[in-house]
Amino acid sequence: MPAPLPPGSTLGILGGGQLGRMLSQAASRLGFNVVILDPEENSPAARVSQGQIVAAYDDATALGVLGRTCQAVTFEFENVPAASVERLAAGGALVAPGSKALAVAQDRLEEKTFLNGVGATTVDFAPVDSLDDLLAGLERLGAPAVLKTRREGYDGKGQIWVRSADMAADAWSAIGQRPAILEAKAPFLRELSIIAARGRDGSLAVYPLGENIHAGGVLKTTLAPAEVDARTTARAYAIAEAILQGLDYVGVLGVELFDLGDGRLLVNEIAPRVHNTGHWTQDGCVCDQFEQHIRAVAGWPLGPTAAHARVEMTNLLGDEVEGWRELGGEPAARLHLYGKAEARPGRKMGHVNRVRSL
């Protein structure tokens, strides 16, 4: 196992968005330098980092420079090509999480298959490569069911509800007739999530569960720690551990869950990175998810995960960010803005954590 990286080392981050920005800020607090690789010049993460390589994520020359410059490399979102991570590792770079986690998370069919294989149960599902497959899947799973592209798609994109067999042809066309997965409807009471980390030495650190509220397919609010019983907590922790161990994972992982009641949980999806539903930890825990990820990647001991406050995290979408004056005046509110220039509808521009006592 590589020795822990000392302060003054340089970390690379593939991706220059808000997650990369907050990872870079956490790394800076621990004394690390950060270099961003992102195709967008002057990205939000680059503006709080030592430097940026402006290039595509699969640019061989740029990846070579990043690997030689940095003592460890990570990524901020799961649509970075897995081949790029493999290229970095083959060149001798220390990369975490590894390409296996990316490959699993980038394909919804592979993800569901992996999850069930490690005992993290999901809804029933069927692969869809044609309209006939979709019709057969609807006959087996029943309607309504949700049709999702196997690759790409996030925040409600690349998916459509199919409420009857009559809608199948239109739904298949709506997703561009691309390889897909049909998922049965989950009879859940609420949506939960858990943020967990695994260190290079195999140690685990798991945060309290959060309860999530979505609007239009996009996360709007997370309440954490969620009000859950011991049985539900134990099951969520077991799911997180099984996934982390099954992927031989290093870093922070987000797991979205459907709560069926009575301690029964289904995994909706996983994210091999820091996660929107873990933003509450910035103001609710001593060691937030961003510092935790940097600690894991650098080979440091993992930090404490106990909550010292209850937090209501609210995403600021589009022009909601214009309310920064009022939000900045709320005594219990901690404002986190991402430095994005254009407030497009539905775009995540920042979030606010409202801190309450436990």
Query: What would the mean pLDDT of 130-148 be, rounded to a whole number?
Result: 96
Domain boundaries in the chain? 10-95, 124-184, 190-356
According to CATH, the superfamily of the domain at 190-356 is ATP-grasp fold, B domain (3.30.470.20)
pLDDT tens column, 167-206: 999 999 999 999 999 999 999 999 999 999 999 999 999 9
| CB of 148 closer than 8 Å to CB of 141 | no
The model's confidence at residue 153, banded by pLDDT at 50, 70 and 90, is: low
pLDDT at 211: 98
CATH 3.40.50.300 correct for 124-184 = no
CA distances in angstroms from 119 to 35, 101, 161, 340, listed in the order given: 38, 17, 27, 40
Separation between Cα atoms, residue 170 and residue 140, nearest integer Å: 19
Residue 2: pLDDT over 90? no
Task: Kindly state the average pLDDT of the residues 99-113.
Answer: 94
* Closest by CA position to 45, among listed 344, 348, 339, 357: 339
Question: What DSSP element (H or E) covers 314?
Answer: strand 310-317
Point out which residues pair with 14 in neighbouring strands. 37, 75
Q: How confident is the model at residue 156 (pLDDT cuts 50, 70, 90)?
A: low
Residue 1's CB is within 10 A of a number of other CB atoms, namely 8
Phi, psi (deg, nearest 5) at residue 298: -80, -5
Q: Tell me yes or no: is domain 10-95 CATH 3.40.50.20.
A: yes
Residue linked to tokens 């020795």: 3
pLDDT tier at 329, thresholds 50, 70, 90: very high
Q: How far apart are CA 267 and CA 2, in angstroms?
A: 33
When pLDDT is cut at 50, 70 and 90, the band that residue 328 belongs to is very high
Helices 230-246 and 108-117, axial angle in degrees (round to 10): 110
Helix or strand or coil: residue 49?
Answer: coil
43-57 tens-digit pLDDT:
999 999 999 999 999
Name the average pLDDT for the chain. Answer: 95
The total of other beta-carbon atoms located within 10 Å of residue 324's CB is: 15
Please state the rounded mean pLDDT for residues 106-128: 97
Residue 154 has pLDDT above 70, yes or no: no
